[in-house]
Amino acid sequence: MNPRTLALPQGSPLREFLTPRWLFTTLLVLLAAMAMVRLGLWQLDRLEQRRARNALIQKAMALPPLNLNQADLPDWSTATYRDAVVTGKYDISGEVLLRNQVWENQPGFHLLTPLLIEGHTRAIWVDRGWIPLEDGDPLKRAKYVEEGTITVQGRLMPSQQTRSLGGAVDAPQGRLDAWNWIDLPRLGQQISVPIIPLYLLAAPLTPQSLPARSLPEPDLSEGPHMG
């Protein structure tokens, strides 16, 4: 008897196939098939999550602008991607430059400035738009200071996730003058009043001027998935 062949009756057609090697190969095929099924179910679940997210974004964008001087939402995340309007005064002392921003192929910064909301003891961070790289110096960017009570329109956006190659990088301690993404919990340490946990992406001005602004449409694609 061949020790590499399972004990089967003489003459059985399976005798030549049911070897340990054949069984091992079959097991690998079955495991691969199970993995593909699990991957397919995971992809379909991600697709449903993406569709639900897109529906929430479309619903928020269809709502009338939210007046932040009057609103006091128990869950601010429900206002993400909704248009909003707010009146208050900028706290320039807390302003931060957002690095690595491009406008018409020109490098620069975005101005992130906390706005103290009129009638409230809270603030919202405003992305005021793009300025050229050479205007990042505190003295040069003074020309972009907006003084007094102003009204800003824009879209409410979520705090950005940490983005870095090779692992997360924590912001340095103390006051920030520039940083790499809009990390609202960290930016909130710049000022002494509570902040709304969303930031306002300021709407473009007409005619366009510096700081340059845009309101890009959110990505509502369904993303890659197995069909």
pLDDT digits (tens, 9 = 90+) for 137-169: 989 999 999 999 999 999 999 999 765 554 456
Query: Nearest-CA neighbor of 130 among 106, 147, 146?
Result: 106
The per-residue pLDDT for 60 is 83
Name the E strands within the chain: 66-67, 83-90, 96-103, 106-117, 123-132, 150-158, 178-179, 195-202
The per-residue pLDDT for 101 is 97
Section 51-62 average pLDDT: 82
Q: For a pLDDT cut of 90, what percent of the chain falls above it?
A: 54
Return d(Cα 96, Cα 99) in angstroms, integer.
9
Q: For a pLDDT cut of 70, what percent of the chain falls above it?
A: 81
Instruction: Tell me: pLDDT of 13 over 80.
Output: no
CB contact at 8 A, 95 and 115: no
Section 98-122 average pLDDT: 96
Return d(Cα 97, Cα 130) in angstroms, integer.
10
The per-residue pLDDT for 226 is 46
Average pLDDT, the chain: 84
Instruction: Tell me: pLDDT of 109 over 70.
Output: yes
CB contact at 8 A, 185 and 170: no
| Residue whose tokens read 């003058």 | 177
Provide φ and ψ at 180, rounded to 5°: -95, -20
Section 107-122 average pLDDT: 97
Query: Which of 42 and 38 is assigned the larger pLDDT?
Result: 38
The per-residue pLDDT for 69 is 96
Provide φ and ψ at 49, rounded to 5°: -65, -40
